[in-house]
Structure 1
Amino acid sequence: MDAEILAVGTELLMGQIANTNAQYISGRLQDIGINVFYHSVVGDNPERLRACLQIALNRSDSVIMTGGLGPTQDDLTKETVTDIVGRKLVLHEPSRQRITDIFQRTGWTMTDANLKQAYLPEGSMVINNDHGTAPGCIIEKDNKVLIMLPGPPSEMKPMFEQSVVPYLEGKSGYRIVSKYLNIVGIGESYLETQLMDLIDGQTNPTIATYAKEGEVTVRLTARLPKDDTTDLIAPLEAIIRERVGNAIYSTGFESIEEVVGRLLQDNNLSLAIAETVAGGTLASNLCMIPEIPKGRFHSMTVDHSGSIDQDSAINQAQTIREFFDTDLGVAVIGSIGEAENNGLEQTDTVYIALASRNKDNPAVIERHLFGDVNRKRHSAVLHVLDMIRNYILNMPETNKRHDI
């Protein structure tokens, strides 16, 4: 079975609210083995809604609609749907009673418009709403499934979990399993080149790459019968890890800041950072990570005078470490200017150095940044975090502290 999500509401098209319902529903449908091939959004207009719904029913096995179930005149989802499927709206007495009870308990004034929500398509399966007044419903017709849910996420989500998921699980004989490999330090085009033979030959599981500033995520997705416990993803993941190596910093949804914070905590390491180019961005990002205990992380935004080179970065890293008496000291020196035109005209050079308490050879890297100021700062932060991550992962056991 495949599904399409159709959101109804002019406010979505105007950008007044984000369509988070579609994101949520898509994620949950994946868990129960149902593919989502289309997302659509249409305003509160019966003609356009009718056209969108007819297209959706023609190309998808099931259509999940959110929004347009309220009491006002522009809430026309049920009316349009019942017309398309050739049914009529009938009063659902339990829903009428539920709505009446809500108004009596709250002391609100109930109008005839509110009773509109208790009318549902004849022969539909009613989905109770324990968090609002608008019930939802499921309609089966001509081997198609049409599901209507209210728009507010606080109402939609519990209704979807309690009623829609069990219903759809009974319709699906498959489950979909995905794993996300988060990569830093490798561009999307280079990564794709490294994996091209795997991408070209993909069947099940499938491979997809997604880029964001300075990072790439590889999604591996397998589709299996419900009772099949075979791990199809592990062999493919092993091949990718062999090719990409330590550039994979996490799986799932753990950010690189969280990874670094966990590594610092697990190895009882304290950290001090001197920033001259990131504008405090690095310190701000790390301060939001609860894994880093207070008193174990220090940061200063400094004005660097003198030459900008590898030796200066090393000296700054050693100085900041000694000043705060931490296990690790990191310095980021250089200058970031505002790029012109398309952001490629001006490239800035930064030096990132890491010094440790045990006086081993400091690590230092040179990086060239392009784009606007925010992009350059973000890139610098990623390079710093990846440098700390790699240092800790490769650090000899004797350098780790166990007395805290």
Structure 2
Amino acid sequence: MKAEIIAVGTELLLGQIVNTNAQFLSRELAGMGIDVYYQTVVGDNLSRLKEALQLSSARADIVILSGGLGPTQDDLTKEAVAEYLGTKLHYDRLALDKLERFFQDRSKPMTENNKRQALAIDGGTPLDNETGLAVGNAVSKDGRHYIMLPGPPKELIPMFQQEVKPWLLQHVLTDELPIYSKMLKFAGIGESALDDRLTDLITGQSDPTIALYAKDGEVTVRISTKADSELKAMEKLDQLQAEIEAIVPDHMYASQDVPIEQVIVDLMADQGLTLSAAESCTGGLVMETLTSIPGSATMLRGGVVCYTNEMKHKLVNVPLHLLEGENAAGAVSAETAEVLCEQIRMITDSDFGLSITGVAGPGYAERKPIGLVYIGIAERGKKTEVHELHIKGNRETIRVRATKALLYRLWRRLKATEQ
């Protein structure tokens, strides 16, 4: 089963907004066993939109359109689909009632153009918009299926989950075996390196399938299979997961789609361990990343952003002779990273102390290159470890990758403690 996504909106072509809907829809469709071969962006123009529909209908079984369902004259998606299919539009009674109540509750008159949001295609299925006013539509003709969704992600995402998925399962995927997936999460290894390590499994794959997705500092491997029951699917997926873990045992931190900071917070909370951090070039990103996880208050003692040498000395007791002077190691050094993590651990009386110091750019610091970063981990009663990193990318990429690298090393340490 093949699908194509058509994003409608001149603002997308002008670069005024980012098309995150296509990313979400592609991921969700892939999870249902539906392949997305093409993504199209077309402006608010009736003839060009109909041309896009003609092209997509020739190469896809399912066409999903996002955007163009609003109240203005340039919201033309439903009109274009209706004209292309040779059918008519009508006002959906439930959607129109919802619109009228919306304006009545606010004591505002409903202008005539707002009724456009209640338009539905004859013979189709209206899709309820829980978080917005524009009703969606799903319609089938000549073996092709057309789904119209609103543009705002806050409306599109819940509508897809609550309305489109059940409609596809009921009307389109009736003869398809359900697809089951597991998301394996990796850190401390890049996408290309992981792909190389798994090359034999990837090239020989048939069922289950393997797909890699990369983000800064993390890689996700989705393994998927079709089966007539979850039990049978999990037997195949668990076996493949065990093979992958055997190849890269030190990098897979989770078998579900969670960030590494979530795993760290859970591990430390379960073990009753505490943490603190002293950050320089990341400017508090480590603490921000951890505090974004619910439950982090149980394991996080506190942190310090000590950006300047003066603050490293005053707040975290780094000796000035280590930071400044002709023969000093400097702020960006393994020695400073070591003192930072050890001192912040002692100051806060936590079980672990973390540190990051480096050059995020855009210029050199202490005549040291952009991307040179040192990370440190001090643990109560154990030897401190410091790692030197050479990170490629712009300032923000360096900060994110340095943070993820430190969290990966901490995860390794916590796993060793757990064992």
TM over 0.5: yes
- Specify whether residues 338 and 164 from structure 1 end up closer, same or farther in structure 2 by C-alpha distance, changes over 3 A only: closer
Number of positions where the alignment pairs a residue of Structure 1 with one of Structure 2: 392
Q: Deviations over 1:97-127 (max 9, x none)?
A: 5555555554433444344455543333334
Q: Quick one: distance in 2 between partners of 1:146 and 1:178?
A: 26
* SS of match in other structure, 1:229: helix
Aligned to 1:401: none
The farther-off stretch of 378-387 and 100-109 is 100-109
Aligned to 2:222: 219
Aligned to 2:167: 167
Aligned to 1:391: 413
Superposition pairs of residues 309-348 of structure 1, within 5 angstroms: 310=334, 313-333=337-357, 338=362, 346=369
- Specify whether residues 383 and 133 from structure 1 end up closer, same or farther in structure 2 by C-alpha distance, changes over 3 A only: closer
Aligned to 1:59: 59
Where structure 2 has 5 or more consecutive residues not aligned to the other structure, the ranges are 307-311, 323-327
Aligned pair 1:233/2:237, yes or no?
A: yes
Cα deviation, residue 134, structure 1:
3.5
2:207 to 201, 204, 208: 204
Q: Quick one: distance in 1 between partners of 2:31 and 2:216?
A: 28
Q: Aligned letter for 1:280?
A: G
- Specify whether residues 119 and 324 from structure 1 end up closer, same or farther in structure 2 by C-alpha distance, changes over 3 A only: closer
The TM-score normalised by the length of structure 2 is 0.80
The farther-off stretch of 104-113 and 228-237 is 104-113
Cα deviation, residue 50, structure 1:
0.9
* SS of match in other structure, 1:245: coil
1:375 to 378, 381, 397: 397
Counterpart contact for 2:357–2:375, Cα < 8 Å = yes
Counterpart contact for 1:346–1:370, Cα < 8 Å = no
Cα deviation, residue 194, structure 1:
1.0
Aligned to 2:194: 191
Superposition pairs of residues 8-157 of structure 1, within 5 angstroms: 8-90=8-90, 99-100=99-100, 102-129=102-129, 132-157=132-157
Counterpart contact for 2:359–2:370, Cα < 8 Å = no
- Specify whether residues 73 and 337 from structure 1 end up closer, same or farther in structure 2 by C-alpha distance, changes over 3 A only: closer
Q: Quick one: distance in 1 between partners of 2:82 and 2:134?
A: 16
Counterpart contact for 2:265–2:299, Cα < 8 Å = no
- Specify whether residues 37 and 258 from structure 1 end up closer, same or farther in structure 2 by C-alpha distance, changes over 3 A only: same
Q: Quick one: distance in 2 between partners of 1:131 and 1:319?
A: 50
* SS of match in other structure, 2:219: strand
Where structure 1 has 5 or more consecutive residues not aligned to the other structure, the ranges are 398-404
2:294 to 290, 293, 309: 290
Counterpart contact for 1:339–1:373, Cα < 8 Å = no
Aligned to 2:309: none
The farther-off stretch of 252-261 and 238-247 is 252-261
- Specify whether residues 288 and 162 from structure 1 end up closer, same or farther in structure 2 by C-alpha distance, changes over 3 A only: closer
Counterpart contact for 1:103–1:109, Cα < 8 Å = yes
Cα deviation, residue 57, structure 1:
0.8
Q: Quick one: distance in 2 between partners of 1:323 and 1:93?
A: 66
Q: Deviations over 1:365-390 (max 9, x none)?
A: 33334444433333332332222221
Cα deviation, residue 245, structure 1:
0.9
Aligned pair 1:243/2:266, yes or no?
A: no
Q: Aligned letter for 1:237?
A: Q
Q: Deviations over 1:27-60 (max 9, x none)?
A: 4434544333333221110121011111111111
Counterpart contact for 2:184–2:257, Cα < 8 Å = no
The TM-score normalised by the length of structure 1 is 0.83
- Specify whether residues 384 and 2 from structure 1 end up closer, same or farther in structure 2 by C-alpha distance, changes over 3 A only: same
Q: Quick one: distance in 2 between partners of 1:127 and 1:19?
A: 22
- Taking only aligned residues, the RMSD between alpha carbons, in angstroms, comes to 3.2
Cα deviation, residue 150, structure 1:
3.3
Cα deviation, residue 249, structure 1:
2.1
Counterpart contact for 2:8–2:41, Cα < 8 Å = yes
Q: Aligned letter for 1:328?
A: F
Q: Aligned letter for 1:357?
A: R
The farther-off stretch of 257-266 and 93-102 is 93-102
Counterpart contact for 2:359–2:369, Cα < 8 Å = no
